[in-house]
């Protein structure tokens, strides 16, 4: 939605390694000629943080694969206020399949890389290869579970618990542009947070002041080290798990 589409060329030239990884699971279930068809219909796209990928209520004729970065699912309330209700990490899939307009807005929380596939051609391909469709369905079920997981997290009493759960989420999904973490020296782990405190606080259901205190509470306990508001080291993974409840 931000940058012009690059012209179609041989897939190998248009798609980077991250793009290919996001399609790999699917391709394993396709015969060689269909794999090529899949690669040819894939349209790579980059967007910078803050970009709206799918507007609220828009009807989309594309299926998206998130290859790098973080996407936020934003619910627009009747009174215009916005609230984050979910986060997508590589290599999640987004966009309505077999269905109507999107009930949520999809927005880039960090710089992102994604692939878009024409919905009708993609659906047709799924119907021709039941194995691929099963895989796709499994992804959908994973989404349901992820959403329910957040219900659990949001039900937690204290802000520190929710924050700890969030940091662990970042750790689990090796988030490149957003927050990953290599086990550097020893067992400390670096996490980069691509969204500002204000935005994060509304996602975690707390004021940004409370969130700030929660960050520093973890820091005081030597569970994390705050290098900058957007850059944190996890010093004690076990303690962080404990802190998440």
Partner DNA sequence: CGCGGCGTTGAACACGGTCAATTCTTGTGG
Partner DNA sequence: CCACAAGAATTGACCGTGTTCAACGCCGCG
**Using CB under 8 A as the criterion, which residues of the chain lie in contact with its own copies when the complex forms?**
73, 75, 83, 85-86, 96-99, 103-104, 127, 130, 134, 137-138, 140-141, 143-145, 147-152, 154-157, 202-205
Closer Cβ to its own copies, 142 or 216, answer by number: 142
Q: How far is the CB of 224 from its own copies (least distance, A)?
A: 21
**Angle at 99 (CA atoms; ends 95, 105), nearest 5 degrees:** 40
Q: Is the distance from CB of 154 to CB of 233 less than 8 angstroms?
A: no
Closer Cβ to its own copies, 32 or 141, answer by number: 141
Q: How far is the CB of 54 from its own copies (least distance, A)?
A: 14
Provide the binding-site residues for DNA, judged by CB under 7 A: 157-160, 196-198, 205-216, 226, 229
Q: How far is the CB of 173 from its own copies (least distance, A)?
A: 17
Q: Choosing among DNA, its own copies, none, which partner's interface includes residue 215 (Cβ < 5 to 8 Å by kind)?
A: DNA
Tell me phi and psi for residue 131, to 5 degrees. -60, -45
Q: Choosing among DNA, its own copies, none, which partner's interface includes residue 220 (Cβ < 5 to 8 Å by kind)?
A: none
Question: What tokens were used for 240?
Answer: 């962080």
Closer Cβ to DNA, 62 or 210, answer by number: 210
Omega of the bond leading into 91 within 30 degrees of 0 (cis): yes
Q: Choosing among DNA, its own copies, none, which partner's interface includes residue 210 (Cβ < 5 to 8 Å by kind)?
A: DNA
SS3 call for 33: helix
Q: How far is the CB of 3 from DNA (least distance, A)?
A: 20
Of 3, 18, 22, 13, which Cα lies nearest the Cα of 40?
13
Question: What tokens were used for 193?
Answer: 């947070």
**Angle at 154 (CA atoms; ends 149, 159), nearest 5 degrees:** 130
**Number of other residues whose CB lies within 10 A of the CB of residue 217:** 16
Distance CA 58, CA 50 (A): 18
Q: How far is the CB of 33 from DNA (least distance, A)?
A: 48
Q: How far is the CB of 233 from DNA (least distance, A)?
A: 14
Q: Choosing among DNA, its own copies, none, which partner's interface includes residue 97 (Cβ < 5 to 8 Å by kind)?
A: its own copies
Q: Is the distance from CB of 186 to CB of 68 less than 8 angstroms?
A: no
């Amino acid at each position: 939605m931000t940058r012009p589409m690059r012209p179609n060329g041989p897939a190998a030239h248009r798609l980077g390694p991250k793009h290919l990884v996001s399609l790999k699971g699917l391709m394993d279930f396709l015969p060689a000629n269909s794999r090529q068809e899949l690669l040819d219909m894939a349209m790579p796209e980059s967007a910078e943080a803050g970009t709206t990928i799918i507007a609220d209520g828009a009807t989309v004729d594309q299926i998206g694969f998130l290859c790098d970065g973080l996407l936020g699912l934003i619910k627009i309330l009747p009174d215009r206020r916005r609230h984050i209700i979910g986060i997508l990490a590589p290599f999640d899939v987004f966009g309505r399949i077999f269905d109507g307009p999107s009930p949520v807005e999809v927005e880039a929380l960090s710089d992102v890389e994604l692939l878009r596939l024409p919905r009708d051609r993609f659906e047709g391909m799924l119907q021709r290869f039941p194995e691929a469709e099963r895989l796709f369905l499994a992804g959908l079920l994973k989404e349901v579970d992820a959403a329910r997981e957040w219900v659990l997290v949001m039900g937690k009493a204290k802000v520190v618990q929710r924050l700890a759960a969030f940091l662990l989420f970042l750790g689990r999904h090796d988030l490149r542009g957003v927050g990953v973490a290599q086990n550097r020296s020893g067992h400390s782990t670096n996490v980069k947070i691509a969204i500002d405190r204000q935005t994060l606080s509304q996602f975690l259901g707390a004021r940004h002041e409370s969130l700030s205190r929660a960050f520093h509470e973890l820091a005081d306990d030597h569970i994390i080290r705050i290098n900058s508001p957007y850059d944190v080291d996890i010093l004690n993974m076990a303690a962080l798990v404990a802190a998440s409840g």
